[in-house]
Amino acid sequence: MRKKVVHVDHLTVYYGQTPAIAGVCLDVYEGEYLGIIGPNGGGKTTLLKSVLGIVPPTEGAVEIYGESITKNRTLMGYVPQVASLNKAFPMTLFEVVLSGRIKAGIRPFFKYSEEDKEIAFQLLGKVGIEDLANRQISQLSGGEFQRMLIARALAVKPKLLLLDEPTASVDAASREQIFALLEELNKEMTIILVTHDLLAISSHVGQLACLNTTLVYHGEPELTEEVVNHLYGCPVDLIAHGVPHRVLKEHGEGC
């Protein structure tokens, strides 16, 4: 019997008087690869941060492996949106990944161990950028920067990896490299991925959650016209290599 990794129970989060998510119930099991999609402002990042314990619930609760988030926070690795990060900060790629080894509650004058450094180098190899270890992060391409963030998230040796738009600022080749890396990582850990990349739905993830303040759909990664109309308000086409590629069965004209 598979273990339940994440249990979201009637979760509601308000920002001021505005609900970001309302009454969301969601279970994620060990070994799953869940993609979360939805419109901008639909609550995807809020849901991710609630699972991480960064954003507290207004109502409802989140459990990780059947316990409170505070007890199991170290089981989670997190890759934030690139847009929220300062790429000009003067650090090398290796230093960023190594910083993932810092544990909560560390006292002043903390010093990395040789094991910490070895783990950081191993993770650079795991994501395929060990030859860039001493490069300043300002000199990295979009794909290299994302793989660095994934390596940093892996530094805590997580059982659950959460990623927020990891392919938003990369080219097509880097996007495929990142998805290939995530498929390999999914053999070792559970993954929750927030994305706008609809092609990832049919090609990569094993489960799909559609979120627009409320949970519109949770199940197999095959969208129906009804779900998309509810989620976005009109039918959606994928553009793959410049050619429209419909992810839905044929339907009538929408917007």
- At residue 187, does pLDDT exceed 90? yes
Position 236 scores a pLDDT of: 52
Q: Is 177 helix (H, G, I), strand (E, B) or coil?
A: helix
- Residue 168's pLDDT band, with cuts at 50, 70 and 90, is confident
Task: Check: CB of residue 191 under 8 Å from CB of residue 34.
Answer: yes
Q: Mean per-residue pLDDT for 46-67?
A: 96
Cα–Cα nearest to 208, from 189, 231, 184? 231
Q: Is the pLDDT assigned to residue 250 strictly greater than 60? A: no
- Fold designation for 4-82+139-222: Rossmann fold (3.40.50)
pLDDT tens digits, residue range 227-243? 776 676 655 554 444 44
Q: How much of the chain exceeds pLDDT 70, in percent?
A: 85
Q: What are phi and psi of 121, to 5 degrees?
A: -65, -40
131: left (phi over 0), alpha (psi -120 to 50) or beta: alpha
Q: What is the mean pLDDT of the chain?
A: 87
pLDDT above 60: residue 252: no
CA distance 5 to 10: 16
- Give tens-digit pLDDT for 83-135: 667 888 899 999 999 999 987 666 677 889 999 999 999 999 999 999 999 99
Local confidence band at 200 (pLDDT 50, 70, 90 cut-offs): low
Write down the pLDDT at residue 105: 63
Distances (CA, A) of 50 to 85, 120, 123, 240: 20, 28, 27, 33
Burial class for 114, CB neighbours closer than 10 Å (0-12, 13-18, 19+): exposed
